[in-house]
A and B are shown apart, each in its own frame.
Chain A
Amino acid sequence: MSRNPIEDKTAVVGIGWTEITRRSGVSVLSLAAEACLAAIGDAGLTPKDVDGLVEYQANDSVGALELADVLGVPAVNWYTDIRGGGDHAVSSVALAAMAVSSGACDTCVVYRALNGRSGHRFGAAKPSTMGGRDQWVLPYGYMVPPQWFAMWARTHMARYGTTHEQLGAIAVNQRRNATMNPRAVFQKPISMEDYLSSRWINEPFHIYDCTVEVDAACAVVVTSAERAQALRHKPVYIKGFAMGSFGRPSWEQWADMTEMYSKHVGEMLWRRTGLTAKDIDVAEVYDCFTYSMMCQLEDYGFCAKGEGGPFVASGAIALEGEIPVNTHGGLLSEGYIHGLNHSCEAVSQLRGDAGQRQVRGAQTALVTSGAGILGGGIVYHTK
């Protein structure tokens, strides 16, 4: 049994980005303001029309009320500052949809802004008091997400025979997509030889298996379905979403590391929306690492469990394949705007605005966020 009372009650009407760089030279506040103004302008609105803001961050960004003040939003009726990881790339948009559909606010901007390369870096080891979880992992030099996901990827390789070349097929394909994305931070193609000869970060991950840290911001504007119809772009409706987890929320104690949060969330999402993976025309799947994306493809049902390797290597995920994935180059090649850029790309695709990398006739898109122990998925579509 499942309910989906938010179905098609809201739509994304604006998207915006800053330039994506390795050194912005400006504050995170400047980045946030620029991306939000771009998204609000894209919708044909001004900050006077905005009354809600949602953002997520890891103590590396600017709060919603501070940004509202800078933008000149006259009054805020809803705001939420989320502290957390990439799982919130979907839940932040979902929260905006809930706030708008409940009547808490009318037009809500969702943003993620960070100087992720020149400022606070995710890959950096942090100072620790050596209590809590740290006492179990730091004495072993187990510090950062590229290690946790490499550990998980190995279980899939050991059980299903997944190969380095199959992981490499993801990196190579996404870079190819990025060559058609003028925003992408990496636009030079890479070959399988480049991938296989690149340096190890944490085996089985080469450097090309890992996301690229960038300085950037992006934003989406969510409003009611009624209001969306009067605005300048074809509305991209929010069909449904799911987020959550199951089992022990621990990177070291997760019972079966060949499956992720998405085993549960995928089931919930399809039950709520009445859709399946077969109904999706384009998928932007959270790719902090190649393996994170591949495992989610299995969990959301694009292929059977264990067949992710052959599936990605078959060309199925290419722009002209059966399910184009990470059409902008993803976090691996467009840049790590912590996953909110996946929603911006999905909206571009559904509007038919994606230029050279446009998936012809795309009407329904899946965006996922997070990986491993937690995350979410959201379905956008046009009518």
Chain B
Amino acid sequence: MPKPVPAPSELTKPFWDAVDSRRLVIQRCQGCRRYHHPPVELCAKCLSSDLAFEPVSGRGSIYSFTITHDARQPAFAEIQPYTVAVVELEEQPGLYMLSNIPGVPTGDVKSGMPVEVTFEEVVPGRFIPQFQPSRRR
């Protein structure tokens, strides 16, 4: 059973196109330089609509996580228990992305753990960003 695949809109397509080529980009206000995720139409900080996608380091840390034992969808019931984490990217405090932490036993996941992006091919040619423990010291 395949996992569900994102259906990008005009606004979110640049993000997902980059992910499909295994790159992580985040929308950024060209006025006040604030990052926004998920992408927005208007910068809530300075009200500029001059927004562009810029590459980010792909590094961050686990802000929080939960381990699901009771998935109500077949694609996930097959792989439970699994971790869902909120990852805070290093570029900006509070810049959060959802992720699983594949490859790490659920009992070993910790808040604050340094992580870095990887890409999971969900169906041929379509990827989603995932995070794994950072290999850097």
Contact = CB atoms under 8 A, between A and B. Distances in A.
Contacts of B99: 140
Interface in B42-81: 44, 63-73, 75-76, 79, 81
B4 A128 contact: yes
A200 B70 contact: yes
Contacts of A138: 4
A146 B72 CA distance: 12
A130 B123 CA distance: 14
Given A143-B72, A154-B65, A130 B7 contact: yes
A132 B112 CA distance: 29
A151 interface: yes
Contacts of A135: 6-8, 12, 16
Contacts of B6: 130, 135-136, 139
Interface string A96-139: 00000000000000000000000000011100111111111111
B69 A202 contact: yes
Nearest to A129: B7
Contact of A155 (B3, B7, B111): B111
* Residue of A124, A142, A199 contacting most chain B CB atoms (<10 Å): A142
A42 B68 CA distance: 44
A140 B99 CA distance: 6
Contact of B68 (A130, A141, A155): A141
Contacts of B84: 140-142, 147, 151
B31 interface: no
A26 interface: no
Interface residues of B, number: 41
Interface size class of A (residues with CB under 8 A): 35 or more
Contacts of A205: 66
Interface string A254-296: 0101000000000000000000000000000000000000000
Contact of A147 (B3, B16, B66, B75): B66
Contacts of A252: 86, 96, 98
B118 interface: no
B32 interface: no
B122 interface: yes
A201 interface: yes
A202 B72 contact: no
B104 interface: no
A204 B66 contact: yes
A130 B4 contact: yes
A359 B39 CA distance: 50
Given A130-B7, A151-B86, A257 B73 contact: no
Contacts of A140: 84, 98-100, 128
A125 B72 contact: yes
A160 to B, nearest CB: 12
A202 B9 contact: no
A200 B80 CA distance: 11
Nearest to B63: A155
A128 B111 CA distance: 30
Contacts of A131: 7-9
Contacts of A136: 6, 38, 97-98
A202 B66 contact: yes
A176 B99 CA distance: 38
Given A123-B72, A154-B111, A139 B66 contact: no
A144 interface: yes
B6 to A, nearest CB: 4
Interface of B: 3-9, 12, 16, 37-38, 44, 63-73, 75-76, 79, 81-82, 84, 86, 94, 96-100, 106, 111-112, 122, 128
Given A125-B73, A131-B8, A138-B4, 4 more contacts: A125-B72, A154-B111, A155-B64, A253-B94
For the complex of A and B, 10 pairs with smallest distance between CB atoms: A141-B76, A135-B6, A150-B66, A158-B111, A130-B7, A203-B67, A200-B69, A125-B72, A125-B73, A201-B70
22 contacts: A123-B72, A130-B5, A135-B7, A135-B12, A140-B84, A140-B128, A141-B3, A141-B71, A141-B75, A141-B76, A141-B100, A146-B70, A151-B65, A151-B86, A154-B65, A155-B64, A199-B69, A200-B81, A202-B68, A202-B69, A205-B66, A257-B86
